[in-house]
Amino acid sequence: MKQGNLLIVHGGAPTAVINSSLYGAVTEAKKHPEVEKVLGAVGGTGGMLKENFCDLSAVPEERLKLLLQTPASAIGTSRDALEPEHYAAMAEICRKHNIRWVLFNGGNGSMDACGKLFKACVAAGVDVRVVGIPKTVDNDIAVTDHAPGFGSAARFIAGVTSEISQDVRSLPIHVSVIEAMGRNAGWVTAASALARTGSGDGPDLIYLPERPFNEEEFLEKVGDLYRKKGGVVVVASEGLTGLDGKPIVEPIFQVGRATYYGDVSAHLANLVIKKLGIKARSEKPGISNRASIAFQSETDRDEAVLVGGEAARAALAGENGVMVGLRRAPGPVYRVETFLIPVEQVMLYERKMPDEFISADGCDVTDAFVEWCRPLIGSPLRQFITFKPTL
Amino acid sequence: MKQGNLLIVHGGAPTAVINSSLYGAVTEAKKHPEVEKVLGAVGGTGGMLKENFCDLSAVPEERLKLLLQTPASAIGTSRDALEPEHYAAMAEICRKHNIRWVLFNGGNGSMDACGKLFKACVAAGVDVRVVGIPKTVDNDIAVTDHAPGFGSAARFIAGVTSEISQDVRSLPIHVSVIEAMGRNAGWVTAASALARTGSGDGPDLIYLPERPFNEEEFLEKVGDLYRKKGGVVVVASEGLTGLDGKPIVEPIFQVGRATYYGDVSAHLANLVIKKLGIKARSEKPGISNRASIAFQSETDRDEAVLVGGEAARAALAGENGVMVGLRRAPGPVYRVETFLIPVEQVMLYERKMPDEFISADGCDVTDAFVEWCRPLIGSPLRQFITFKPTL
């Protein structure tokens, strides 16, 4: 049996369970005698190009298990734009370090890198199997039903919206605008609706990037709700665009090719204050939306371990240029199966919320979405208690 | 034995453990045969004036226990400005409903209300005992070592800073500015330093409202750190003021007597982008800082139950016009004792961070603060794992 090393590389923004997939991959790879060492690229593709590796197979099991509760990427990650020469260099690095299997854990961009490295290795005559592990906060990866990382981000936004709603209802003097992750796809924003499943209260309005934002209608709805209930809770995607298709927030600065925009939540809160004269505040959990271990969904974590293990198994079985996907098994009880998807089918394609998951008025979700999303967030959210006047 | 009802009123912004004090007070009051009913004012002092009451003594124990995990105020709260005639009306409401004991749970403003109701009852010849339960997010209540609500807010900011820092270090491409609660007192902001106690990384810079903010020095420090480490984590109080004593953020709107300011975190992130050309983002957990049950400190929760129970006991023992305080028992192991403080000593006095808790350069805390704060956040934060290149 030809022996070699297996390398795991993380790409793009981390999630609450990317390290769980790492745990699954390392654990599976260690079972295979043809694997000499399981290496981690420290610092993503940039780290791989610098040959910055760590030996994950040498880590004792009790330390390795900490991966299941460590947010962010324990081996680092990167967002470097890669050119053809970088893929050629990576192929040579695999040859040099006897790396025969590469697992790329990432989103759409990383699946693109996965496909390109696969081709570069073929072109250079280096015998490397490249398999993708899906990872997302936004849930915008195509073909797969969902991908690890989303369930925890969804649980986070549902849990935080539930707690904030409870606060706003108990001191109903303002409009609270919560900003959710997902610039182009509204899956995370939409998941705030699951705050309603507990006894805690949920959001009043949900604004998704899949629908153009109408400022006039927004102010009318918020004003009506405020007069009726006092406290109002709005959840908005960080990437809302107006009727003209442009971001509703002004660009604040240009650095190189990147444009920086202000915060959507602050913008909407300011609109409410200035145009309605109603007290408003913004809540922008920001990075916590993808890094919260307190709101890690155990279902998401278990599925992350599963796809990590499956990716290692697939690569070691000789699969190449594929990503592990998840689909729901038939039947009334939620259960997933893995399957392999050619990376060309997922590369750089952004999956958005379908129409049947968005309410007709465009500022809420449908029951179909709630049913689809519920199993992904794991165990039910905490139950709260509220008292009404009884005497 | 003269029987009567005991009323509990919540005032001001809620915390993660105000309901735990409610639980402690109800549980203690129910043990006393002279208490007919334990009433909750639904909606704070405003609810009391409308005679909106609920009967908390009729709630089964297993339901009542949900208070320990319910954020915000389960009986509602208010921030109404009260005039002398309101206190006179409250005294009459006590007479009408045979309320012989009133517990006010709140911060500095509520202790003021506590003192005024006590005097109004004496003036009206209504036999009511009024006792205060301290509650704070900001930890700005005088005389007591600390007050319930702070420990959980501190645990929240430490935990979130730990997770965000882990994320920023794993993808070190930007400056992240986290905004903490506490407009005039920096206790919560300071508690972010406890993120450093875990294996996760902590904040690089901590900006407290007790020190004037120097924009030039801030940009110099951030630029230096960014060149050295890539990712930089800054924690800033929502109430920072500049060298001129004015808020560093522009007022965005005036509604009546209230002025609304932009978000400090967004302002600082924008400064970094515009003046240094470095990618920066803001994270503003906002209300989550006071409403997170996931980060509720069990020490804080237990102390909240304790002071709630003590307040009921004190009122029923005939104490009047006092607030229950906490002090540390002597000895190397953290343990608190309760004591009673005349409300005049705490009314409307804001306690700020003392100089010995702030580092000499003004953008960090001292070890003395960390030692003081550590027991309040409860059990140690989650341990994380990070790998460095080893090959």
DSSP string across A253-285:
EEETTEEEE--HHHHHHHHIIIII---EEEEB-
All residues at 6 or more sequence positions from A295 whose CB lies less than 8 Å from its CB, including other chains? A16, A152, A155, A156, A159, A160, B294
**Alpha-carbon distance B281 to nearest alpha carbon in chain A (angstroms):** 8
Q: Residue A20: its pLDDT value, please?
A: 98
B:71-110 residues touching chain A, CB 8 A cutoff:
71-79
Structure confidence at residue B251 as a pLDDT band (50, 70, 90): confident
- Chain B residues in contact with A265 by the CB 8 A cut-off are 284
Mean pLDDT score across all residues of chain B: 94
All residues at 6 or more sequence positions from B122 whose CB lies less than 8 Å from its CB, including other chains? none
Which two tokens mark A231?
């406290």
Out of A78, A286, A290, name the one closest to residue B282 (CB): A286
Q: From start to end of chain A, where are the E strands? A: 4-10, 35-41, 53-55, 99-106, 129-134, 175-180, 205-207, 232-237, 251-255, 258-261, 280-283, 322-328, 336-342
All residues at 6 or more sequence positions from B211 whose CB lies less than 8 Å from its CB, including other chains? B358, B362, B363
In degrees to the nearest 10, what's the CA dihedral of A67, A69, A74, A79? 120
**Alpha-carbon distance B105 to nearest alpha carbon in chain A (angstroms):** 14
pLDDT digits (tens, 9 = 90+) for B121-152: 999 999 999 999 999 999 999 999 999 999 99
Q: If phi over 0 gives left and psi between -120 and 50 gives alpha, with beta otherwise, what is residue B14?
A: beta
B:295-354 residues touching chain A, CB 8 A cutoff:
295
For the question of an ipTM over 0.90, the answer is: yes
- Chain A residues in contact with B387 by the CB 8 A cut-off are 40, 42, 54, 56, 59, 74-75
Residue type, A286: G
A266 interfacial to chain B (CB closer than 8 Å) = yes
Task: Specify the DSSP element, H or E, that contains B350.
Answer: none
Which two tokens mark A233?
């809770």
3-state secondary structure of A130: strand
**Alpha-carbon distance A15 to nearest alpha carbon in chain B (angstroms):** 9
B215 interfacial to chain A (CB closer than 8 Å) = no
Q: Average pLDDT per run of 10 along chain A, which is 391 residues long?
A: 93 96 98 98 97 97 97 95 95 97 92 91 95 95 95 98 95 95 96 80 94 97 95 97 93 74 92 94 96 97 98 97 96 96 86 96 96 96 92 72
B55 interfacial to chain A (CB closer than 8 Å) = yes
Q: Which residue of B has its CA nearest to A77?
A: B171
B144 interfacial to chain A (CB closer than 8 Å) = no
Enumerate the β-bridge partners of residue A281: A176
Q: Residue B9: its pLDDT value, please?
A: 98
Structure confidence at residue B198 as a pLDDT band (50, 70, 90): low
pLDDT digits (tens, 9 = 90+) for B12-66: 999 999 999 999 999 999 999 999 999 999 999 999 999 999 999 999 999 999 9
B45 interfacial to chain A (CB closer than 8 Å) = no
Which of A133, A109, A169 lies closest to A28 in space, CA to CA? Answer: A133
pLDDT digits (tens, 9 = 90+) for A59-106: 999 999 999 999 999 999 999 889 999 999 999 999 999 999 999 999
Strands A175-180 and A280-283: parallel
Which of A252, A210, A195, A206 lies closest to B262 in space, CA to CA? Answer: A252
Which of A182, A175, A224 lies closest to A203 in space, CA to CA? Answer: A175
Across the interface, do B385 and A63 touch by the CB < 8 Å criterion?
A: yes
Structure confidence at residue B109 as a pLDDT band (50, 70, 90): confident
Q: Nearest 5°: CA angle at A243, between A238 and A245?
A: 65
Q: Which residue of B has its CA nearest to A47?
A: B389
Q: Residue B175: its pLDDT value, please?
A: 96
Which two tokens mark A378?
């794991």
Q: Residue A199: its pLDDT value, please?
A: 53
pTM: 0.97
pLDDT above 60 (res B357) = yes
